[in-house]
Each structure stands twice: as C-alpha cells, then as structure tokens.
C-alpha cells in the first residue's frame, strides 16, 4: 500500500510540475555552459567587504573564478547586474517544506503523498525567495526524502535539501501523533523509547534516506498535552542517538525549548539545538562550552503576534506560544552576547514559506550586526550542515548559488526580504533585472 501511494505521489509530481527543462528560465542559462555574472557590487561575507565591478565565472554549475570584470573571458554568456549587490545564496537550517500553516485536528486529513506535493510548491517558493539550500528537520513518511530526490533529479524546482525524515520522539512526545484517541493506537514514524529502540530507529531512518537525524528533546508549542519546559528523552537515550548518527556520518539536530533539554542535548553531542526559547544562563553556557550551534527561529514569534487571526492556533498552542514569546528573544540575545555559534533557521511552515529572510532582521534588532546576521545564513549554516566546501561563500570550486538585491544589505538587512535574482548551480531561476 505504501509503495503504491508513493508511486502515485511521484507520478503526480512529474505530471504537475513537468521536468526541469520545461520550467521557464529568465535568462536562458544552463548549468553546462560557461557563464559570467557581472556584479556591480559583490559582498564578501567572510570579510564584510563589498567589491565593485566583479565578474563571477561559472562553468559546470560551479564557480571557476572571481575577479575584476575587465579580466573576465570574452565570448561567453553574460548576466549583467550592474546596480545590484550579489551575495551567496542563503541557507535555512530549519524548514518543514512538506508542511504548511495548519494546526490541530485538521492535519489528520492530509496524506503523506499530499504533503510531498505541498513540499514541491513550498520548495519553489523558498528557492525564489533566495534560499538556495535548506535543512529540512522533520517530515512524515519520508516525504522530504522524496522531495529531495525529485529536486536532485530535476523533476521539480527547489533548493538543495538535507533531510531528516521522521523526527525521533518519545511515546506521547512533541513529535508523536497526539490527536487521535487511544483506540487508534496511533504513533508517529519516529517514536522510540529506551536506548535499544532509539538506536534501532536511528539506523532505520538512515536506511530510508535521511541525511541527518532530528530528535525532539523537550515538549513543544504546537503539540497537545506536553510542556516546552519539560525534557523528554533522557541523556542516555540522546547519547545513544548521537553516537549511532555520528558513527554513520549523520549530524543531529535537537528540538529543545527548556533549559534541561538544551543542556542534555548539548552534553549528548548534538550538532545543533533548535529554538532554545526557554533557556537559562546554564543552558547558554553549556552551548558555548560544547560549541553547539543554536538555531533560534525567532521571526515566528513576530509573525504569530502580527497575524494571530490568520494563524488560527488552537487554544493550547496559543497559550504555549505566548509563554515562549515572552522570553524567547531575551534568551537568544543572551546567547548572541555569550558568543554561542548561531545558525539561521526559520521553522517555516509555522508561518508561510518564502518569508525566511525576515529571520535575519530579528537578529539585527537584538544587537547582531547585519554582517553577522548574514553570516548565520551563509558561512555559519554551511559549517553546521557540513557543506562549507560547497556553499556559503562566492569562491572558486563552490556551487554557483547566487542571489542579488537592490541596495546594501549591510546598511539595511531587510533588502534580503526582496531578492530579485536567484541562481542555483549556474542556472538562473529568477531574474527581475532582465538579461
């Protein structure tokens, strides 16, 4: 039955979107040909310097050289961006492309194949917003694995994806199915309890295609009947998860709000803690000590406040959202000031996809410089994903993932909310500047 469902899903993906060659391109470029992007301004995200009159030479989807426009090769396809600022494609380390803002019991009516199709739509929206790489942390039925593979095959447009498949959860935890009553005996794909079970489930999730492991270390906001402050997996269980994941070449992301869960996740060796909205000073110090990344997901607080009616959260979720909203930004600000490593992540799906860059403006409002904020979504996230040799900067040998905006994002970080040019792997997917 599951195999039949996936066959229907993948056939629908191909019929609905067509192959990549049928997707209209703004410039007619293809990743195989040699291309020169002439940038009036190019932001070096490592140094913060803006270089003028630069040429980025691209071949085979990768950057060959970067230098003065006068030294660029002749008789090649040229993309002129004389009045724009070019920078690396942005990275979002916490997305849920196969979900959309639907909460509570209505989610029970959405099938896994439907979620894969939702993901195909959201992938395109996200890419066109300038997010050329994402880490998808949690999806039902391996829908994100199917979406990643469809994007890689060129069946649908979307960002590069690293995916977790189902999130690991204790029985009745934040990432378990908590809406159906007892007689259904319903549990989510990633439920496992005890050291032996979490080891088995970690290996199974990797078997079915996950690039990383997502673990729910505390209660959550949008789940029913749990407490975001309460730790769920024990330290021993999380150590077992991390040990198996790392041995098998996978990183681990831990959903954690409360202080104890943050501390245990960091001590267990996870690579990143997601949210951390209810951290205390001890939890922040633990992240700093262990070099654990924090992915703070803060814009969701602002969006939920500004669009309360549109969000339509159930009452239990409204109460918990108010609880984390009161202290979440203050905790993140303390982490920034303590020097905790920060990766940009949005939790897109809690609010509409495509608004990812709004997250960076929140970081700046809490005292981060615009350059430091941009670095969270470029060099920091590239390091967190283990892709520092592939993405995050505009340098020879890396994938030609570029975006361009009007103005100077070092002066106004909100310019990144209005990306006008997107290139992924040498292929132009959006160009509002013309040829």
Strand boundaries in 160-266, DSSP class E: 160-163, 212-216, 251-258
pLDDT over 90 at 1, yes or no: no
Which structural domain, as residue segments, surrounds residue 47?
A: 35-87+393-431
As a whole number of Å, the end-to-end CA separation of the chain is 48
Q: What is the pLDDT of residues 135-173, one digit of tens each?
A: 999 999 999 999 999 999 999 999 999 999 999 999 988
Strand boundaries in 345-420, DSSP class E: 402-405
186 and 59 inside one domain: no
pLDDT, average across residues 307-332:
79
Q: Model's pTM, two decimal places?
A: 0.90
Residue 29: per-residue pLDDT = 52
CATH number of the domain residue 216 falls in: 3.20.20.140
53 and 71 inside one domain: yes
Would you call 195 helix, strand, or coil by DSSP?
helix
337 and 426 inside one domain: no
CATH number of the domain residue 75 falls in: 2.30.40.10
295 and 369 inside one domain: yes
Strand boundaries in 143-301, DSSP class E: 160-163, 212-216, 251-258, 272-278, 293-295
* 262 within some domain: yes
Q: Which helix (H) or strand (E) holds 85?
A: strand 77-88
Q: What is the pLDDT of residues 247-269, one digit of tens each?
A: 999 999 999 999 999 999 999 99
* 52 within some domain: yes
**What domain count does the chain have?**
2
118 and 218 inside one domain: yes
Residue 321: per-residue pLDDT = 78
Q: What is the pLDDT of residues 2-30, one digit of tens each?
A: 454 555 454 454 444 443 333 333 444 55
* 15 within some domain: no
Residue 218 is given by DSSP the state: B
Residue 118: per-residue pLDDT = 95
* 30 within some domain: no
170 and 98 inside one domain: yes
Contact between 430 and 418 (Cβ < 8 Å): no
Both structure tokens of 75: 């008789």
Residue 167 is given by DSSP the state: P
82 and 144 inside one domain: no
Residue 435: per-residue pLDDT = 60
Interaxial angle between packed helices 112-128 and 2-17, expressed in degrees from 0 to 180 and rounded to the nearest 10: 30
* 18 within some domain: no
249 and 301 inside one domain: yes
pLDDT, average across residues 386-396:
98
* 340 within some domain: yes
Residue 8: per-residue pLDDT = 47
Residue, of 33 and 378, whose pLDDT is higher: 378
* 307 within some domain: yes
39 and 181 inside one domain: no
129 and 77 inside one domain: no
366 and 313 inside one domain: yes
Residue, of 310 and 426, whose pLDDT is higher: 426
pLDDT, average across residues 350-366:
97
76 and 147 inside one domain: no
* 270 within some domain: yes
Contact between 241 and 215 (Cβ < 8 Å): yes
The rounded distance, in Å, linking the Cα atoms of 416 and 333 is: 21
User: Which ranges in 274-413 belong to alpha helices (H)?
Assistant: 281-290, 299-306, 308-311, 315-338, 358-365, 370-375, 381-385
């Amino acid at each position: 039955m599951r195999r039949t469902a996936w066959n229907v899903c993948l056939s629908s993906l191909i019929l609905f979107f067509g192959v990549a060659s049928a997707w209209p391109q703004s410039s007619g470029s293809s990743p195989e040909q040699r291309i020169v992007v002439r940038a009036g301004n190019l932001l070096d995200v490592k140094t913060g310097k803006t270089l003028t009159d630069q040429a980025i030479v691209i071949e085979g989807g990768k950057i060959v050289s970067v230098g003065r426009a006068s030294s660029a090769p002749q008789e090649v396809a040229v993309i002129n961006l004389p009045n724009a600022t070019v920078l690396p494609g942005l990275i979002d380390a916490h997305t849920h492309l196969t979900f959309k803002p639907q909460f509570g019991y209505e989610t029970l009516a959405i099938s896994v194949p439907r979620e894969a199709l939702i993901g195909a739509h959201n992938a395109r929206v996200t890419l066109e917003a300038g997010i050329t790489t994402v880490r998808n942390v949690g999806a039902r039925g391996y829908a994100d694995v199917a979406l990643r593979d469809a994007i890689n095959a060129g069946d649908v447009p979307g960002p590069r994806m690293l995916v977790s498949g189902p999130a690991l959860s204790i029985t009745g935890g934040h990432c378990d199915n908590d809406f159906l009553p007892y007689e259904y005996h319903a549990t989510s794909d990633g439920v496992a309890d005890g050291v032996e079970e979490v080891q088995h489930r970690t290996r199974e999730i990797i078997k079915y295609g996950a690039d990383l492991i997502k673990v729910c270390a505390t209660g959550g906001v949008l789940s029913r009947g749990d407490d975001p402050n309460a730790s769920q997996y024990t330290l021993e269980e999380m150590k077992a998860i991390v040990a198996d994941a790392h041995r098998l070449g996978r990183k681990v992301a831990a959903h954690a709000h409360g202080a104890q869960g943050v501390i245990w996740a960091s001590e267990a060796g996870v690579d990143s803690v997601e949210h951390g909205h209810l951290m205390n000073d001890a939890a922040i110090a633990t992240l700093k000590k262990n070099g654990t990344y924090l992915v703070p997901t803060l814009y969701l607080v602002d969006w939920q406040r500004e669009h309360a009616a549109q969000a339509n959260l159930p009452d239990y979720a409204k109460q918990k959202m108010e609880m984390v909203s009161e202290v979440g930004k203050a905790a993140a600000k303390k982490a920034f000031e303590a020097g905790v490593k920060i990766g940009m992540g949005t939790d897109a799906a809690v609010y509409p996809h495509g608004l990812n860059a709004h997250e960076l403006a929140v970081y700046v409002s809490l005292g981060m410089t615009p350059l430091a904020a941009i670095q969270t979504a470029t060099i920091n996230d590239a390091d967190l994903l283990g892709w520092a040799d592939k993405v995050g900067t505009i340098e020879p040998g890396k994938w030609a993932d570029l975006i361009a905006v009007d103005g100077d994002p070092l002066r106004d970080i909100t310019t990144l909310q209005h990306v006008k040019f997107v290139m992924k792997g040498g292929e132009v997917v959006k160009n509002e500047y013309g040829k």
